[in-house]
Amino acid sequence: MAKKNSPSFSLPRFFGAVVFSLCFFLPKSVLGVKQELRFRKNGEFKILQVADMHYGDGKTTSCLDVFPNQTPTCSDLNTTAFVERMIRAENPDFIVFTGDNIFGFDATDAANSLSAAFQPAIASNIPWAAVLGNHDQESTLSREGVMKHIVGLTNTLSQVNPAEAHIIDGFGNYNLEIGGIKGSQFENKSALNLYFLDSGDYSTVPAIPGYGWIKPSQQLWFQRTSAKLRRAYMRQPEAQKGPAPGLVYFHIPLPEFASFDSSNFTGVRQEGISSASVNSGFFTTMVEAGDVKAVFIGHDHLNDFLW
């Protein structure tokens, strides 16, 4: 069946559907020239998360993490069918892919594999966005090349990097604003802020083994962006008393995920937490910002829990 699952806030396998309902304010924001993201008339905004598709070359690429009797007949085509089924079932307002969208060693042509992996979202005509995992660049495109290809696909709101950040690590650091119901009294404020970051692939420091991490330049961008959005939300017209809620998406879990056990999380944990060996302090950075309400990741295939 599907190839991987996301460890936080997710439905079975690698999907997470999150519905935000705002009862006390119904703002709006206008986002660029591509598409507008805003809350529905009933005050809800549903996000479908898709993590770790590990797409390769289609029907010749076998599935990962399925039951042994499924292995001979399960391929990328099953993944595509499952994503399509989840989109139809959930009817989301927005779709987020949280990395390892393709598995480089199985993908002989990265561009073709990326286009095929995202085809269900493209065909749905629902706006979507993506971040990179640690395997996306292992085929025929660099990390920058992968992100540039993603940005060029239909209906995506993904960005290579923020225009205002002249120096920033990684590719796929950006934010999106979710507006409220059209015509509401708060229509010029963002009601929900989405942050996307590149958590890297592997350590580039010889003395430090393991996976990559979110670097100081990315955290500085996040802090400045969060502060700017907070000021906009709390000033006239219709000044609010606190910041709008924020959600953060990236691929590799933070070291803090390992500190949670069955006494303080809900869901399924079937493997260890594969985080970087370096704690770059991003958890503290998010807490200090004051607006982040949840973090959504991928990477650990057999974990499906929230805390």
Q: Where are the domains of the chain?
A: 15-306
**Angle, helices 143-151/110-117, rounded to nearest 10 degrees:** 40
Task: Tell me which DSSP letter residue 11 carries.
Answer: B
Q: What angle do CA 250, 256, 257 make, to 5 degrees?
A: 70
Task: Tell me which DSSP letter residue 141 carries.
Answer: S
- Give all strands (DSSP E) within 51-101, no chain letters: 94-98
The tens digit of pLDDT for each residue in 258-272 reads 787 767 777 777 666
| DSSP letter string, 219-261 | HHHHHHHHHHHHHHHTSSSS--SSPPPEEEE-SSPPGGGGG--
Residues 6+ apart with CB under 8 A from 16: 6, 8, 9, 10, 47, 48, 49, 51, 296
pLDDT of amino acid 9: 30
Distance in angstroms (rounded) separating the CA atoms of residues 199 and 248? 12
pLDDT of amino acid 270: 64
Pick the closest to residue 208 from 140, 275, 290 (CA basis).
275
Residues in the chain where the model's pLDDT stays below 70: 1-35, 185, 262, 270-272, 301-303, 305-307
pLDDT of amino acid 19: 52
- Is the separation of the CB atoms in 212 and 165 below 8 Å? no
Name 128's bridge partners: 95, 156
Does the pTM of the predicted model rise above 0.75?
Answer: yes
For the chain, state the CA radius of gyration.
Answer: 19
Q: What is the 3-state secondary structure (H, E, C) of 88-114?
A: HHHCCCEEEEECCCECHHHCCCHHHHH
- The residue with tokens 């400045």 is 224
Task: Tell me which DSSP letter residue 20 carries.
Answer: E
- Give all strands (DSSP E) within the chain, no chain letters: 15-21, 44-50, 94-98, 128-131, 174-178, 192-196, 246-249, 266-269, 292-296, 303-306
Report the CATH number of the 15-306 domain: 3.60.21.10
- Is the separation of the CB atoms in 181 and 28 below 8 Å? yes
